[in-house]
Structure 1
């Protein structure tokens, strides 16, 4: 019942000379086959024969090419053998035994060539013609194993062993199937454990954010690889993005303790000891005139499992209503930040939803740009 291994077959080699062989045993088709009388006679015989006789003839030609191909380790002859079996089956003759042999033989050659899908299909076709074919069951089970179709393989093994309970070849495949399944299960378990280990920091951070009452939505901005974190005292630290919409400039405060006051950071950034901003020629962004704003209801708050995905670098499934709305209930609007509050107090204001990281818009008070910005002449969402 065992088949030869395809690894023993070398790449295509030049075929032997056909000069002294009858046309039936040619390994390759010569340039002018019509010059050979026995070829002409063979073609005439084919035309006069029945489909059953022609199918038998193609089976014989295929078997000869298979035998010589195995002997010479010539893969080209094996492919030609498949072509002969193809032609025989294409005749759809009424001889069940011939068709059975054609399917079985083509399955055998396809196995040698490593064409496991074709080998499985041919073996299953052979089993339809002869459900008691142990060879077909063996080849089908082996092909299914090679394809990783373990449930199909198990069903075929069950059928084959019901026909021949002591079949060693089937028992060997059964052992290989069990080993393959065990290896796959071990790999799946290892991958799941590695994924959970990689996800653990995001789970802890998401739990802390939810516990502290922070509401977050889909990330709108990123500050490199910076993320909020909890220190040893249980306090949250945030990276914060500052946007100057008038000029398109941005600034990042990489570590803002949640209990630090807004005024404390503004004193550092815009204090008298700090040089004026390079792009602020009129020095409008002074400490006395600078004002922060945030966009209320910046998005639909994420559930904790969605927040885990976002913190892990994945994009949660989008909600069509997730973004800010201009009108209706829960409409977004600009809110001036009370700099006497801590960052935590600002982020916990009603309607404040953090778009990944805290995002504040910096304007200079009492300017034409501020008036236009707040009047929404300059649409920002």
Structure 2
């Protein structure tokens, strides 16, 4: 019998090895159930790198990371690596890390204008989805400085202008983009929407200007009416000013004055003034407010209406009757009080040499004639009674 040939010996050895391989389990082999998870742990095949890489625990990952961002490579190559890294983060909707990656790419300061335009545009997109519309717009502008006809940068810029409600710029950028690509659907839609909103904004602005113009005309007419009548307005100044300058007269006192109801003096269609008036009842700590006291109305008319049939609930003694009431106003300048004749009009009182309208609302004290409270109230005060 002839001895076996060398190739036959090799086949026999291989068959023996395979028989042994089938009967023995390979140590460290992947399990059938979790082979995909275990495969993912191999650095070369990871779909996503860990957040923080520890060189001691993961030397293979650290090595790959250093290879990826090797500072010895040309700036353009490093920038491309960061761009790809940013794109991966962007696909995962991790926009903050995408911004960081694109920023690192731009910091390489490469001379490739096309690449820089892409980095700026991609970072603009990431900022946009984070709601950083101003930063996104700045990046879109920077991208166009690198490459003026970069269509994606133009689209992103137009969308940013829409978000910050600068519709005229959104229209302009859309028009510039449509010169590059006349059929770009996104730009066509953006321009149509921006133009519509721009027209609406201009219309609203015109209405607002007209309303402000009308309001100013009414204010000027009111100031003239008060000035022509010789009515003095008393306006409180800030606490920081000297006590001697604590008050001053100014027509602006009516425009800045506020009371609890928000009522203000106004001029009617006949050119007559209507004032918000406050009646104070110091004996009971009560008040009455008349929102529109016609300047030609007499005080007695209001008193008869207020104290005739239905007396106020706080008047338990039933003594606040119209004929028994007296009206006074305070002159804060001289710290004195003046009695008002109920038979005269509001305008006559407002034109009194010692009367000033404070905070846009004339105020008066109402007391029961010759009552004990009235006598006590004025016993230590300077009072000018009617003669």
TM range (shorter): 0.5 to 0.7
Check if 1:62 corresponds to 2:66: no
Which residue in 2 is equivalent to 1:304?
A: none
The alpha-carbon distance between structure 1 residues 349 and 123, as it changes in their structure 2 partners (threshold 3 A), is: same
CA distance in 1, matches of 2:70, 2:270: 93
Which residue in 2 is equivalent to 1:42?
A: 64
Deviation digits for residues 244-282 of structure 1 (CA, Å, limit 9, x no counterpart):
4466443557886765544566678889x989x86999x
The alpha-carbon distance between structure 1 residues 280 and 149, as it changes in their structure 2 partners (threshold 3 A), is: same
Which of 127, 149, 152 matches 1:135? 152
Alignment check: 8 A CA contact 1:228 1:238 kept = yes
SS in 1 for 2:85: helix
Alignment check: 8 A CA contact 2:133 2:160 kept = yes
Alignment check: 8 A CA contact 2:168 2:198 kept = no
Q: CA RMSD in A?
A: 5.2
Which residue in 1 is equivalent to 2:327?
A: 292
| 1:181, distance to aligned residue in structure 2 (A) | 0.8
CA distance in 1, matches of 2:303, 2:198: 62
Structure 1: 5+ residue stretches without partners:
1-15, 297-323, 377-381
SS in 1 for 2:278: strand
Alignment check: 8 A CA contact 1:25 1:64 kept = no
Which residue in 1 is equivalent to 2:279?
A: 242
Check if 1:374 corresponds to 2:364: no
**Relative contact order, higher structure (CA 8 A, sep 6+):** 1
Which residue in 2 is equivalent to 1:319?
A: none
CA distance in 2, matches of 1:173, 1:43: 41
Deviation digits for residues 279-338 of structure 1 (CA, Å, limit 9, x no counterpart):
999x9x998986422245xxxxxxxxxxxxxxxxxxxxxxxxxxx6x3xxxx78643323
| 1:58, distance to aligned residue in structure 2 (A) | 1.5
Deviation digits for residues 18-72 of structure 1 (CA, Å, limit 9, x no counterpart):
7166558642416766455542322343345236133222123233444xx2xxx
CA distance in 1, matches of 2:258, 2:152: 63
Alignment check: 8 A CA contact 2:337 2:383 kept = no
Structure 2: 5+ residue stretches without partners:
1-35, 234-252
Check if 1:166 corresponds to 2:172: no
CA distance in 2, matches of 1:140, 1:19: 39
Aligned residues: 316
Alignment check: 8 A CA contact 2:178 2:184 kept = no
SS in 2 for 1:372: coil
Which residue in 1 is equivalent to 2:165?
A: 148
Alignment check: 8 A CA contact 2:277 2:291 kept = yes
SS in 2 for 1:86: helix
Check if 1:361 corresponds to 2:365: yes
Which of 118, 123, 126 matches 2:135? 118
SS in 2 for 1:88: helix
SS in 2 for 1:50: coil
Higher mean alpha-carbon deviation, 88-97 vs 259-268, is at 259-268
Check if 1:346 corresponds to 2:369: no
The alpha-carbon distance between structure 1 residues 220 and 278, as it changes in their structure 2 partners (threshold 3 A), is: farther
Alignment check: 8 A CA contact 2:53 2:62 kept = no
Which residue in 1 is equivalent to 2:237?
A: none
Which residue in 1 is equivalent to 2:340?
A: 337
CA distance in 1, matches of 2:143, 2:45: 26
CA distance in 1, matches of 2:198, 2:257: 44
Higher mean alpha-carbon deviation, 331-340 vs 118-127, is at 331-340
CA distance in 2, matches of 1:340, 1:30: 88
Alignment check: 8 A CA contact 1:25 1:61 kept = no
**TM, length-normalised to structure 1:** 0.59
| 1:99, distance to aligned residue in structure 2 (A) | 2.8
CA distance in 1, matches of 2:106, 2:305: 86
**TM, length-normalised to structure 2:** 0.58
Alignment check: 8 A CA contact 2:279 2:363 kept = yes
The alpha-carbon distance between structure 1 residues 267 and 125, as it changes in their structure 2 partners (threshold 3 A), is: closer
CA distance in 2, matches of 1:36, 1:188: 62
